Amino acid sequence: MATPDEPRPRAAERARWRPRRVAAGATLAQDQPTVAIVGYPNVGKSTLFNRLAGRREAVVDSTPGVTRDRRQTGAEWNGRAFQLIDTGGIDEADPSDVGKQIAAQAIRGIDEADLVLFVVDVTVAPTAGDLEVADRLRRSGRPLMLVANKVDSAAHEAAAENLRAMGLGDVHPVSAQHGRGVGDLLDALVERLPEAPEAPEARDRVPALCIIGRPNVGKSSILNALLGEDRVVVHDRPGTTRDPIDTLIEVEGRRVVLIDTAGIRRKGQMAEDVEHYAQVRALQAAERSDVALVVADAREGLTDSDLAVVDRAARAHCATLLVINKWDLAQPDLDHIRGRLRSKSRQRPPIEVCSAASGEGLHRLLPAALRLEERSGARISTRELNEALRELAVERPGPRSGNRRLSLRYLVQTGERPPTFRLDVNDRSLMTRDYGFWLENRLRQRFDLDGVPLILEVRSRR
């Protein structure tokens, strides 16, 4: 790892690892048309997003303003695949900094979309906010469908017809919560989608890197700094991010998915249901990622809560890189931090330092994470493994019980991502927890697997 005392990298080196955001239209599923769901706050956009996706992707709550960033996922109807974009509510009258950022993210979603679903709550008359959003959509020139949500009765259907006065064409009545009218909406939606080009040739697998950590340590700031744009809403108030946000980028011609997540708290510190569900989504993001960049605040050093996040990433079988952010504000003792990691974390993740504000060290994060991803998928020959096994047996003979001693017979790799090994011994009951951890640590050192999850399956060989 490069240390803070080393000279700053040349501009050419920094530019080499500067990720490039993949352009609109080449989304997480390349060349699929995109559909953005927009509207005023609390009209049911995220509920409709989940209904159209066919699964609970976005956090939903009756409190306005739960969705803040653009969230994207794939959907399919009658053989037509497309990408759905969920957005936060557009409230032109909201003067707050967070409100302005939410609206800006939604507007970017409109600009990236091939089709826009404008959602209105049919249980109330169109508000000034609805009319402002409608005017913005007219000026955008994007193809548009007007969706009347919360149509749960015949009276609501009559109210939905009154929305024709907005001058946005046909009205599509639905109840996102109960599924009423959603099939008809999807039929009309796929008819409006542009023809997708022929499927591209199969590409290599796209690794996923998630950015996780405690609230307010700078996760979203790091993502925005890496991308060079305000992809997600950033605020000094903890809990700004709610849903995991996937962004497809390109690094040296290689595609990578970066995932920003909500802050992970301990159970007793979560005050709202929204926080609980946001944290569940964050942990699910770790489970579908290859590498977790666990962010800690340099001003606080490595806290017990940071170690808990490292442990959660390990339990998700995710390779782990510890990122010390805000290095421009404080420089904790890295040797002390490494010592704590060695004693508290089985994966012993490597450390990188950076500052999202100044840009220092950011060019090292993605290369370090991708090296971990490559090590997680590496295969180690059986010959190398058994040479190491013989040396380890000499270095520290197995534990014994009575007249019997554990004998290490044979070691073979049976899987990758995470690396999985099968160890044959004379009697599995002789294996102790301490000796198993020692073997695991020695294998990490021998085969450069620090920060990589390692599964060691022990069986008796008779």
Alpha carbon of residue 53 to chain centroid: 18
Q: Do domains 11-19+207-374 and 32-192 have the same CATH topology?
A: yes
Predicted local distance difference test score (pLDDT) of residue 30 = 52
Q: Is omega for the bond preceding 418 within 30 degrees of 0, making it cis?
A: yes
Task: Give tens-digit pLDDT for 281-308.
Answer: 777 778 888 999 999 999 999 999 999 8
Provide the mean pLDDT of the chain.
80
Ramachandran angles phi, psi of 363, nearest 5°:
-65, -15
pLDDT digits (tens, 9 = 90+) for 438-455: 999 999 999 999 999 999
- How many CA atoms lie within 13 Å of 286's alpha carbon, on the beta-carbon side? 29
- Averaged over 377-399, what is the pLDDT? 94
Distance between CA atoms of 417 and 266, rounded to whole angstroms?
Answer: 28
Nearby residues of 277 by Cβ (< 8 Å), 6 or more positions away: 59, 61
Question: In terms of pLDDT, which residue wins out, 34 or 88?
Answer: 34
**DSSP category for residue 373:** H
Quote the pLDDT of residue 95: 67
Task: Return the pLDDT at 351.
Answer: 96
**How do residues 397-423 score in pLDDT, each as one tens digit?**
999 998 999 999 999 999 988 899 999
Higher local confidence (pLDDT), 433 or 229: 433
pLDDT tens column, 121-157: 888 878 888 888 888 888 888 889 999 888 887 777 8
Structure confidence at residue 374 as a pLDDT band (50, 70, 90) = very high
Average pLDDT of span 323-340: 94
Band (69; pLDDT cuts 50, 70, 90): low
CB 19 within 8 A of CB 227: yes
Residue 16 or 318, more confident: 318
Is pLDDT at 28 greater than 50 in this prediction?
no
H or E element in which residue 309 lies = helix 304-315
Confidence of residue 31 (pLDDT cuts 50, 70, 90): low
Number of H helices, E strands in the chain: 13, 18
pTM of the model: 0.64
Residue 448: exposed, middle, or buried by beta-carbon count in 10 A (0-12, 13-18, 19+)?
exposed
Indicate the range of 2-16, 244-258, 335-349 predicted with least confidence: 2-16
What is the chain's length? 462
Domain boundary assignment for the chain: 11-19+207-374, 32-192, 382-460
Q: Which of the pair, 437 or 284, is modelled with greater confidence?
A: 437
Rounded to the nearest 10 degrees, the angle between the axes of helix 304-315 and helix 334-344 is 50
Q: What is the phi/psi pair of residue 105, to 5°?
A: -65, -40
The predicted-structure confidence for 77-97, as pLDDT tens digits, reads as follows 888 888 888 887 787 667 677
- Amino acid 33 reads P
**Mean pLDDT (whole number) for 184-198:** 82
Q: How confident is the model at residue 385 (pLDDT cuts 50, 70, 90)?
A: very high
Closest CA to 149 of 105, 111, 185, 102: 185
pLDDT over 50 (residue 59)? no
The CATH architecture to which 382-460 belongs is 2-Layer Sandwich (3.30)
- Given a cut of 60, whether residue 11 has pLDDT beyond it is no
- Check: CB of residue 452 under 8 Å from CB of residue 372: yes
CATH superfamily placement of domain 11-19+207-374: P-loop containing nucleotide triphosphate hydrolases (3.40.50.300)
Beta carbons within 10 angstroms of residue 234's beta carbon: 22
Closest CA to 86 of 289, 282, 242, 263: 242
Q: Top-level CATH class of 32-192?
A: alpha beta
